[in-house]
Chains A and B, each alone.
Chain A
Amino acid sequence: MNFSVFLVSFFTWLILTWSLDPQEIAIGLLVSFVVSVVFTRYYKIAFDAKFPVRFLKFVFIYIPIFVWEMFKANLDVGSRVIMPSMGLRPGFVKIKTELKSEVGKMILANSITLTPGTITLDIDGQQLYVHWIEVSGTDESSKKAIYGKFERVLKGVFE
């Protein structure tokens, strides 16, 4: 049994049922226990002592930056859709991240994909392959525009 999976599924259950009725909680405990036993092999998540600090840092430092970046990029792609005269310069670029932890790389790739204008194709070790709708340049400094901010904050959160 994976205790972290148990916690996550029980918490999800609590939010979804949105009641503290003893019957609901009992069924929730039972179901989360079964889920955590069955799926132990597939989930590698494990919470350690640093998890609460990381979680708070993630929510209060990373999420606001991410939402702001996503908002800006959405306006950018939206204006490209409305005015085709702005032109496109799509391309596939290769970027190298300094993050080492699996979770950090996953969140970086997901953030790049969620930010409009860039989609992660693949991860190979510490290299990310990205489709970018407006390639401003192929040197490192212009590539940093896609992921530099995310990487800096994620480094503080996860490493």
Chain B
Amino acid sequence: MSQFIHQAISYSLMGIGAFFYFLAGLGLVRMPDLYTRLQASTKATTLGTFSLVLGVGILNPAFLGKSLLVILFVALTNPVASSVMIRAAYKCKLPTCKETYVDEISVNENGGETV
């Protein structure tokens, strides 16, 4: 019985991960501009990766330490990558979608550009 619960937890974690990967892919198609696409894709994969890797670690306890290390590395490197991508897009003055509500960066108090 405990074996069953153990497997059920790890497989459902992997299932949640796969579902969030699916959402990330769907978001790439549905979102209107690059900024929101980055939000949908790089973001849904964080929970996707975390729960997928954690599920593998729980299924096979020999991998648990390594999978926690993988989660740590993803948590450290993923934000840097998406931050650099979105900043590069902003500096290239990539057009934003028409829904864009506010842009506080382009104009600072003195009226000059900050970024």
- Cβ–Cβ contact A138 & B30, under 8 A: no
- Cβ–Cβ contact A18 & B102, under 8 A: no
- Cβ–Cβ contact A18 & B62, under 8 A: yes
* Minimum CB–CB distance for B8 against chain A, Å: 20
- Cβ–Cβ contact A88 & B102, under 8 A: no
**How far, in angstroms, from A119 to B40 measured CA to CA in the complex?**
11
- Cβ–Cβ contact A131 & B65, under 8 A: no
Contact with B along A82-93 (1 / 0, CB 8 A): 101001111111
- Residues in chain A near residue B39, CB distance under 8 A: 77, 90, 116-119, 131, 133
A-B interface contact total, Cβ < 8 Å? 128
- Cβ–Cβ contact A78 & B20, under 8 A: yes
- Cβ–Cβ contact B44 & A74, under 8 A: yes
- Cβ–Cβ contact B115 & A91, under 8 A: no
Known contacts A116-B44, A116-B46; A110 and B102 CB within 8 A of each other: no
- Cβ–Cβ contact B87 & A121, under 8 A: yes
Main SS class of interface, B: helix
Interface residues on chain B, size class: 35 or more
- Residues in chain A near residue B38, CB distance under 8 A: 119
- Cβ–Cβ contact B102 & A81, under 8 A: no
Residues in chain A within 8 A of chain B (CB atoms): 12, 15-16, 18, 70-71, 73-74, 77-78, 80-82, 84, 87-94, 109-110, 113-122, 124, 129, 131, 133, 135, 138
Enumerate 11 A-B pairs (CB-CB under 8 Å) in ascending A order.
A15-B69, A77-B23, A77-B39, A78-B20, A88-B99, A90-B96, A91-B102, A113-B79, A114-B43, A116-B46, A122-B115
Residues in chain B within 8 A of chain A (CB atoms): 20, 23, 26-27, 30-33, 35-36, 38-40, 42-44, 46-47, 62, 65-66, 68-69, 75-76, 78-80, 82-83, 86-87, 90, 96-97, 99-106, 114-115
